[in-house]
Structure 1
Amino acid sequence: MSSTGNKDFRDQLGKFRLDSIGGPSAPPIWSQPPPESTPVPDGASTPSSRSKRVSTACDFCRKRKKKCDFRYPNCTACTRAGVRCTIPPPGPQVANASVPRDQLENLQKRVRWLEEVVRRKSGIAVAEMSTGTPVDGEGDPDWWYQVPAMVATGGNRPSTASMPSPGSGGSSVTAGPAGSESSTGVGTELPNVGEIFRDQLEHRRPSVARPASAPRVLRLSSLEEAERIAGQYFDSMGYQYPFMSRPEFMGHLRHIYTGGVPSPEVHNAYHIILAISLLIGSADASQAAEFYHASQETLPLALQNEDLAAVRALLGLALYTMFATAGPSIWHVLGATMRLSISMGLHKARSYATVAEEETSKRVFWSLYNLDRLIASTLGRPLGIADEDISVGLPRELNDDGTEAPGASAMTIPLQVMRLRQIFSRIYRYLYSNLPRPSPQEVATMLGQFRHEVDDWRMTAPVYPSALLYSTSYYDYLYYTTLLLMYRPSPRNPTPDVTSIVSCGDSSIQVIRSYWDSYSVGKLKWIWLTLSQVYFAGITILWCLEQNARSLRESRPAPWHPEEQMMRRGTQAVVVLLEEFGKRHPGVDRLAETFRHQSTMIFSQMAYQQQQIERQDQRQQRQPQQPQPLIPPQSSITLAPPPQPPVPLAPVLDDVLLVDGSGAVPMIDPQMAEQLFYSYNWFQEEMASYYTL
């Protein structure tokens, strides 16, 4: 300890009465030796008892020039006189008084030991706090004795504040109303014992303050460039997943570019958002990877506590892995994020200290909900949380200044998307589960109800002028992808009816058109999610055409009658998009070749069947009608049908309707087309292997 530190410590020490251990009055706890000190045998004198006492006579005794007995808090003379016992401020005579070294060391050890006890019991790092800092909301560290009373009253863990501490993730404490319990003292409902004991059951790390500064910060060429790149993110992904506040992020951005040093959570958010935006804008992938690696330097610090900063960090990581082929699995990241948000209680309706805190929590949770539904349905996997377990309401349509503007705020589009995801979720759970298969009548009824909800959603969707593209074409895209999910063959509806076949075909063409429009203007996102949905829509068109061919073979009318040119252009668009994907991501070229081969088979079969129908019609027109001779009744004999002639294979997709059946082109077995019966297992396994899903 330095000489200056010793002097300050002695100044403070002179204000107290230090009685020797074993004196007539009980010594204060901080004057006792620390528990790790060596025990002293009975009868032996301790260093403290041999050390010189440091004391100062009170003002009353000094004025009377009488001996002061230094009793605390009042000496005997002041007690008899009925006056307040005061001591003079520390002066040279106190500062120069000698204080035993072992007494100072014992006090310092004692303070460190008590700080460690507090940290282990409550998770509060008091060593880093100044004296007098309020620690409300941390609760009583020794609350186990109150559990029986909590069970009896139906209450939760007691707390010194109505709201949980930041990062604790607990719900607000609400005790049951007085008199609501029966005379026996047992509540009408048992509490959630898991929440009461969750700190002890999970052995979680205590919440600790993050460092005030972060490591190196990557910067773009200028603040204007950084604001432009960040604006691209908020003008696209921000309308779908509003877990990051635009004004808050831009404020941190300006702070960084004016020389400020960000905190770890701000450091992580700044780098991961810019990395996502650089990928969206089709910029240099190496620059985006640079920002991503910089965000990883503070990711452990951003995730050290259970708070909104940790959930935001994981959501940013999930979005980046959705756009990049590097990084962890988005499926695993979303699973961890959903568990963290549930542990924090974000899925529950509860009270908050401010409206801003409540809306921030809602936006974070519903962004996670939206992303969870999208990825789960795309990969054919279970949802992260059931809708029945969610009680928190949707966010409000608040502007950045806090004013509410229904239909005209930055939250208008995200809120509308969240409403559709709720319908989407119920469709997915009804059709894609292992429950017993319902009757066709029940399926038709449920699909009718779902279709009414989806149509009503699209008709009532508000137009947001500030983002016209997202409030019109984006709504249409979401509408048709939801119809595809609803009408395609599913575990509980494996054989769709005519209505489903027609809806699948029409919706697939519209989905492909939306992607082709984005590709034509250079705004298509070359990510695995886009690849999956493009292939999904393309193979659905082929399946609908195969259903037409099957109906014709069975002498039934074709169920789907698309506009011929639009259908052919849609299929050709899928081939072009898949080939473009193959130039950017290894392995997709095999998928493009497979789709080209499948589409060629289907169109060849269609052309061949059309020629057979036309030839049959021509023969019937040439042959005159003759009376049928009477044939005596005979016993019925079942004859095997003659084998079908081979189907000519069109070598080029653009010439599929020009096949003349002369035999000059390769021939295939028509039964090979049956293998296209809408199976996505191979495709999903390919995507999982290529994109670490």
Structure 2
Amino acid sequence: MNNPDNKDFRDQLGKFRLESISTGPTPAWSHPDSSTSTSTPDLSHSNLHSASASAAAAARSKRVSTACDFCRKRKKKCDFRYPNCSACTRAGVRCTIPPPGPQVASASVPRDQLENLQKRVQWLEEVVHRKSGISVADLVTGTPVDGEGDPDWWYQVPAMIATGGNRPRTSSMSSPNGSRGSSVTTAPAGSETSTGVGAELPNVGEIFRDQLEHRRPSVARPASAPRVLRLSSLEEAERLADQYFESMGYQYPFMSRPEFMAQLRHIYTGGVPSPEVHNAYHVIIAISLLIGSADATRAAEFYNASQETLPLALQNEDLPAVRALLGIALYTMFATSGPSIWHVLGATMRLSISMGLHKDRAHSSMMEEEMAKRAFWSLYNLDRLIASTLGRPLGIADEDISVSLPRELNDDGMEAPGTSAMTIPVQVIRLRRIFSRIYRYLYSNLPRPSPQEVATTLGQFRREVDDWRMSAPVYPSALLYSTSYYDYLYYTTLLLMYRPSARNPTPDLTSIVSCGDSSIQVIRSYWDSYSVGKLKWIWLTLSQVYFAGITILWCLEQNARSLRESQPAPWHPDEQMMRRGIQAVVVLLEEFGKRRAGVDRLAETFRHQSTMIFSQMAYQQQQQQQQQQLEQQLEQKPLPPPPPPPPPQAYPPVLMNQAAVPLAPPPGPPVPLAPVLDDVLLVDGSGGMPMIDPQMADQLYYSYNWFQEEMASYYTL
């Protein structure tokens, strides 16, 4: 006897036919309220309602179409039990039914497959309705849903699904021949106009949300991409591309210059790029515009255009997806909008590891192997730089990397060690590997080593870094990057190695001297770039400038502490060079404050600290001069006779056997501000006489950690 559950399933199964989908605007199964009531007679019996001949024919069609194959062959009634009817259960065979509607296939379909398909179609309709606002359940199959005929609208659907946005309104411009032209997406009414991608793409994790929840195999990308932004001419585009490859391309060579230039010419001759080429072209132009300190609005337009094909570029685990994420990372280094570079690099590192880019493995061609290496080592370089700047863990351990360094190939594919465009990136990677071991040794939660061990280990690191600088070849085609850029990397590595760290909080005299000298050289390199108008006003530059300036103050404080303890000063810098270095930091921080709100507070903190340090230095110099004058006067006058010994006194028994306890010297007078020290000392003009803070050295040390957290929070890193 049939139970109500079997009956409901039979009714639903009978209505799930291809004919019902093609003849009516609304599938019957999508409306549970329209199902046959429980009082409807069983379709397997002959007492069906016969109000009309058509109703009887439809009932017979349901009865025939829902009987299983086993019962139909035996010409027996089927009780429609799910997933196996009683006859199939007794016979021990699988219960299958013929395909609904016309016989489009000879294979039978299991009942559970039909129900799964039914539930999946309903789920997909709900997803489309929730994400795009289109109720496809109420539309006939084949109804156009492409935004009033806009052919480019569907390219925006993946981005809307990834960001959870609603369907945008599109206004299409008709071409002269009557076909639709390019479409312009407009924001919903009442919404704020987005100046960057921050509101649309706040976190790269949203891009992978659907992929993480529903894994899927790799599929082919579309052959063409949506609208393409073009500059005024091909010459301007080639100039900006050259500017990128001659700066960021030397540091992070994940893009092939000949291939990119060929694609650039294809775009400007009317060609339609593929999605991955579309994404790479727009993001590279956006980065180059920011490198040249151009209008950020224009760069944001190209970056926003690249986001239209970002979901397609990221749909597979392959090299174009890695390049797309690296492009986002470089853009967010320069721009104030976009996702967090820390999140982007984390996603890129996991994607690269899942692809096995960190392992030495075979490839189909030498060029494919080299481009995979370049992408991974570019990611490695960025990971080390950002992690050390923000004081965070490294993305991958060096022990887990087995892939070799890229080969030094020219653009024509010929290997030329020391004279190739890949010479500079290879040298940078070699230094980053030393840099990585220094960072892991000094900036970790491992127990503190002994001072002897630290001195020995730092000595070994210093020899490796010195050998790297001495052996780094000069590349004449990029003289700036193979000389001054090498020097900058060399001194920033020494600064990381010698400044106070978690496992070496109290550096020795050698570390103090190296910190001071390296900081002056780092500031000098930035000042040289500023003088010729090539300084990059990005948060990394701000970080390095502040770190170097605060390290100079820390070294000066170590000198002052040694003098207070009647010991010689460990660091003897060139006075004029040191003062110019401090002045350069003050000027650069002020210039940053003009371009980025909030940096003025940082500049004021540095002014106050430098004023206090130089005031302390001036006071100590004055005390030394007075001491020297007093000694000279004593040498010129005859010494007076010694005073007579005091008469014996009776001491208490308790104190006679104890040594005399020296009393602390009385507090000295307040230290006045130094009047004028060249044009370096910045005095607020109040004329006050502040006391020197005895914990100045500790404040300077902890300002490293303070600034890392402050910068990461302010720049949403």
Q: Which amino acid aligns with 1:673?
A: M
Query: Structure 1 residue 104: deviation in Å?
Result: 6.1
Question: Which residue matches 2:313?
Answer: 302
8 Å CA contact 2:610, 2:681 repeated in 1: no
**Judging changes above 3 Å, is the alpha-carbon distance between structure 1 residues 216 and 555 closer, same or farther for their aligned structure 2 residues?**
same
8 Å CA contact 1:600, 1:656 repeated in 2: no
Within 2, Cα distance between the matches of 1:527 and 1:347?
29
Show CA shifts across 1:360-382 (max 9, x none): 11000000000000000001110
Question: Which residue matches 2:663?
Answer: 639
8 Å CA contact 1:276, 1:323 repeated in 2: yes
8 Å CA contact 2:241, 2:284 repeated in 1: yes
Within 1, Cα distance between the matches of 2:403 and 2:397?
13
> Out of 325, 346, 370, which is 2:381 matched to?
370
Query: Structure 1 residue 554: deviation in Å?
Result: 0.5
8 Å CA contact 1:601, 1:650 repeated in 2: no
8 Å CA contact 2:607, 2:682 repeated in 1: no
**Judging changes above 3 Å, is the alpha-carbon distance between structure 1 residues 37 and 446 closer, same or farther for their aligned structure 2 residues?**
farther
Q: Which amino acid aligns with 1:431?
A: L
Q: Which amino acid aligns with 2:297?
A: S
Query: Is residue 2:706 matched to residue 1:687?
Result: no
**Judging changes above 3 Å, is the alpha-carbon distance between structure 1 residues 548 and 631 closer, same or farther for their aligned structure 2 residues?**
farther
**Judging changes above 3 Å, is the alpha-carbon distance between structure 1 residues 240 and 108 closer, same or farther for their aligned structure 2 residues?**
farther
Question: Which residue matches 2:126?
Answer: none
Query: Structure 1 residue 495: deviation in Å?
Result: 0.7
Query: Structure 1 residue 255: deviation in Å?
Result: 1.0
Question: Which residue matches 2:701?
Answer: 678
Q: Which amino acid aligns with 1:683?
A: F
Within 2, Cα distance between the matches of 1:201 and 1:649?
61
Question: Which residue matches 2:96?
Answer: none
Question: Which residue matches 2:455?
Answer: 444
Show CA shifts across 1:211-238 (max 9, x none): 1111111000011110101110000000
Q: Which amino acid aligns with 2:513?
A: V
Question: Which residue matches 2:68?
Answer: 39
Query: Structure 1 residue 650: deviation in Å?
Result: 4.0
8 Å CA contact 2:550, 2:700 repeated in 1: no
Secondary structure in 2 aligned to 1:677? helix
* Alignment of structure 1 residues 174-213 onto 2, 5 Å: 204-213=215-224
Within 1, Cα distance between the matches of 2:643 and 2:377?
75
Question: Which residue matches 1:458?
Answer: 469
- Unpaired segments of 5 or more residues in structure 2? 1-17, 19-64, 77-99, 121-210, 649-655
**Judging changes above 3 Å, is the alpha-carbon distance between structure 1 residues 279 and 38 closer, same or farther for their aligned structure 2 residues?**
farther
* Alignment of structure 1 residues 29-428 onto 2, 5 Å: 39-40=68-69, 41-43=71-73, 105-106=104-105, 204-428=215-439
Give the number of equivalent residue pairs: 518
Query: Structure 1 residue 514: deviation in Å?
Result: 0.3
8 Å CA contact 2:619, 2:674 repeated in 1: no
Query: Structure 1 residue 513: deviation in Å?
Result: 0.4
Within 1, Cα distance between the matches of 2:602 and 2:682?
26
8 Å CA contact 1:600, 1:651 repeated in 2: no
Q: Which amino acid aligns with 1:436?
A: P
Within 2, Cα distance between the matches of 1:612 and 1:104?
106
Within 2, Cα distance between the matches of 1:495 and 1:601?
22
Within 1, Cα distance between the matches of 2:106 and 2:244?
55
**Judging changes above 3 Å, is the alpha-carbon distance between structure 1 residues 230 and 201 closer, same or farther for their aligned structure 2 residues?**
closer
Question: Which residue matches 1:584?
Answer: 595
Question: Which residue matches 2:38?
Answer: none
TM-score (norm. length: structure 1) = 0.71
Query: Structure 1 residue 630: deviation in Å?
Result: 7.6
Within 2, Cα distance between the matches of 1:493 and 1:684?
18
**Judging changes above 3 Å, is the alpha-carbon distance between structure 1 residues 201 and 591 closer, same or farther for their aligned structure 2 residues?**
closer
Query: Structure 1 residue 440: deviation in Å?
Result: 0.8
Query: Structure 1 residue 276: deviation in Å?
Result: 0.5
Show CA shifts across 1:617-672 (max 9, x none): 1012112352655868984132122112211124766467899xxx9643334426
Within 2, Cα distance between the matches of 1:218 and 1:38?
59
Question: Which residue matches 1:93?
Answer: none
8 Å CA contact 2:582, 2:680 repeated in 1: no
Q: Which amino acid aligns with 1:364?
A: A
Q: Which amino acid aligns with 1:666?
A: M
Question: Which residue matches 2:672?
Answer: 648
Within 1, Cα distance between the matches of 2:297 and 2:264?
21
Q: Which amino acid aligns with 1:397?
A: E
**Judging changes above 3 Å, is the alpha-carbon distance between structure 1 residues 264 and 652 closer, same or farther for their aligned structure 2 residues?**
farther
Query: Structure 1 residue 105: deviation in Å?
Result: 3.2
Secondary structure in 2 aligned to 1:678? helix
Show CA shifts across 1:423-449 (max 9, x none): 000000111111111111111111110
8 Å CA contact 1:604, 1:656 repeated in 2: no
**Judging changes above 3 Å, is the alpha-carbon distance between structure 1 residues 249 and 658 closer, same or farther for their aligned structure 2 residues?**
closer
Q: Which amino acid aligns with 1:614?
A: Q
8 Å CA contact 2:373, 2:405 repeated in 1: yes
Secondary structure in 1 aligned to 2:253? coil
RMSD: 2.8
**Judging changes above 3 Å, is the alpha-carbon distance between structure 1 residues 386 and 621 closer, same or farther for their aligned structure 2 residues?**
same
Query: Is residue 2:565 matched to residue 1:566?
Result: no
Within 1, Cα distance between the matches of 2:459 and 2:644?
51
8 Å CA contact 1:431, 1:491 repeated in 2: yes
Query: Structure 1 residue 681: deviation in Å?
Result: 2.0
Within 2, Cα distance between the matches of 1:280 and 1:577?
18
Show CA shifts across 1:370-418 (max 9, x none): 0000000001110000000000000000111111000011100000000
Q: Which amino acid aligns with 1:592?
A: A
Within 2, Cα distance between the matches of 1:630 and 1:463?
77
**Judging changes above 3 Å, is the alpha-carbon distance between structure 1 residues 598 and 651 closer, same or farther for their aligned structure 2 residues?**
farther
Secondary structure in 2 aligned to 1:648? coil
**Judging changes above 3 Å, is the alpha-carbon distance between structure 1 residues 590 and 629 closer, same or farther for their aligned structure 2 residues?**
same
Query: Is residue 2:608 matched to residue 1:597?
Result: yes
Within 2, Cα distance between the matches of 1:355 and 1:366?
16
Within 2, Cα distance between the matches of 1:373 and 1:220?
35
Secondary structure in 1 aligned to 2:255? coil
Within 1, Cα distance between the matches of 2:453 and 2:468?
23
Secondary structure in 1 aligned to 2:481? coil
8 Å CA contact 1:600, 1:653 repeated in 2: no
8 Å CA contact 1:307, 1:344 repeated in 2: yes
Query: Structure 1 residue 43: deviation in Å?
Result: 4.8
Question: Which residue matches 1:195?
Answer: none
8 Å CA contact 1:650, 1:656 repeated in 2: no
Within 2, Cα distance between the matches of 1:261 and 1:561?
63
Show CA shifts across 1:476-534 (max 9, x none): 00000000001101111111111100000000000000000000000000000000000
